[in-house]
């Protein structure tokens, strides 16, 4: 079955993404930029769907969410609002950086899942001592007992998530993300922050 850390990180990431887009949409609404607000709302709608699925996966696999959910939510709100206040380009640069990291993260998960689902099954011919050893370690999700039935579906879900995030990345680039003030610095700060949050959410 999928690891609990995988499900917990994905859920925490979707919480942060939702709050980022929500905050950006709110700020652009207050600034009267209805066009950019609508763009953010459209991307937020996608993230809402991701979050619902992530919550269902947590429940299905009896996995607790990250203990730091309030932190991820607050961080998303601050990041979203701050970049929107700087301007449209900064908000798009934020989206570009965040979705680059998340897209790579989902791709890494797909590589991991492909390795699991394409493992060669054990040979049916074995001595009694080998059979006894494997019977002690086999169980749900163990290669000797067959694939967990949720893995193929999870791969499809993660693929859809990745493609949606990369679509958001393309949208940000098309709308002048790289014209943001101090684009390289902003991208580096946001990107390293996201990577750090992923590592923390795996454990807490």
CB count in 10 Å sphere of residue 197: 21
3-class SS of residue 140: coil
* Res. 127 pLDDT band, cuts 50 70 90: very low
Residue 168 annotated in ligand binding? yes
CA distance 53 to 59: 10
60, 2 contact by CB (below 8 A): no
Q: What is the helix (H) or strand (E) element at residue 72, kind and residue range?
A: helix 69-86
CA distance 142 to 104: 26
Q: Domain 4-118+142-203: which CATH class?
A: mainly alpha
2, 54 contact by CB (below 8 A): no
Residue 165 annotated in ligand binding? yes
pTM (predicted TM-score): 0.79
Residue showing tokens 């693929």: 159
Non-local CB neighbours of 162 within 8 Å, separated by 6+ positions: 103, 106, 107, 110
204, 68 contact by CB (below 8 A): yes
Nearest-Å Rg of the Cα atoms of the chain is: 20
CA distance 69 to 134: 39
Residue showing tokens 């709608």: 45
What number of residues does the chain have? 204
Residue 134 annotated in ligand binding? no
Residue 61 annotated in ligand binding? no
Domain ranges of the chain: 4-118+142-203
The pLDDT assigned to 87 comes to: 92
> Mean pLDDT lowest for which of 34-48, 79-93, 112-126?
112-126
Residue 148 annotated in ligand binding? no
pLDDT tens-place string over residues 170-185: 999 989 888 888 889 9
pLDDT tens-place string over residues 4-57: 788 888 899 889 999 999 999 999 999 999 999 999 999 999 999 999 998 888
The pLDDT assigned to 80 comes to: 93
Strands (E), the chain: none
The pLDDT assigned to 34 comes to: 93
* Res. 126 pLDDT band, cuts 50 70 90: very low
Query: CA nearest 149: which of 60, 73, 79?
Result: 60
């Amino acid at each position: 079955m999928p690891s609990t850390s995988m499900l917990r990180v994905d859920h925490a990431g979707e919480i942060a993404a939702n709050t980022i887009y929500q905050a950006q949409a709110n700020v652009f609404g207050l600034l009267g930029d209805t066009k950019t607000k609508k763009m953010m709302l459209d991307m937020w709608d996608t993230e809402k769907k991701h979050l619902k699925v992530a919550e269902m996966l947590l429940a299905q696999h009896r996995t607790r969410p990250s203990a730091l959910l309030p932190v991820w939510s607050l961080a998303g709100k601050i990041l979203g609002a701050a970049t929107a206040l700087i301007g449209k380009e900064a908000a798009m640069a934020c989206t570009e950086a965040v979705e680059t990291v998340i897209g790579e993260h989902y791709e890494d998960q797909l590589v991991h899942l492909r390795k699991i689902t394409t493992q060669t099954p054990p040979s049916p011919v074995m001595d009694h001592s080998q059979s006894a050893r494997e019977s002690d370690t086999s169980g749900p999700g163990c290669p000797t007992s067959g694939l967990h039935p949720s893995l193929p579906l999870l791969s499809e879900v993660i693929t859809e998530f990745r493609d949606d995030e990369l679509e958001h990345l393309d949208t940000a680039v098309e709308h002048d993300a790289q014209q943001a003030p101090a684009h390289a610095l902003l991208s580096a700060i946001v990107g390293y922050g996201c990577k750090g949050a992923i590592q923390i959410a795996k454990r807490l």
